[in-house]
Amino acid sequence: MDGILDALDVPIAWLDKNFAWMAWTAPTAWFFVGIAAILVAMTAWQVASPSVSRQGLLPLVTTRGDRLFIGLLGAAYIHLAWVGLATGSLWYGFAIAVAWMIAVMRFG
């Protein structure tokens, strides 16, 4: 077992050196784990059932992956706008971002 743990020292040292600038907290880690899980799930869905380009409410033809990207980008801007312009709890901004994401994925 010590050999396995010793083998992990090199990648962990590399991560410590190259990512020390970022404040790695549990919420930050869960955010990246969540994005990775979404990408894995979308990839599996694409392999199982290839998406068909369609035009919905957005003024362009999109696939599921396009709508995911647009939705995530919009959610990021909603959060930034909320933090910069609103005084209420960030949970309200989060609720708006979730509604945006659902609308884009379903009707976009």
**Whether pLDDT at 1 is above 70:** no
DSSP secondary structure of 4-50: HHHHHHHHHHHHHHHSTTS---HHHHHHHHHHHHHHHHHHHHHHHS-
Q: How far apart are CA 99 and CA 93, in angstroms?
A: 10
What are the extents of the domains in the chain?
50-107
Q: Is 84 helix (H, G, I), strand (E, B) or coil?
A: helix
pLDDT at 77 over 80: yes
Written as six digits, the tokens of 101 are 């994401």
pLDDT, tens digit (0-9, with 9 covering 90-100), for 10-57: 666 777 777 777 777 888 888 889 999 999 999 999 999 988 888 888
Closest-CA residue to 100 (of 66, 67, 65, 75): 75
d(CA 61, CA 52): 10
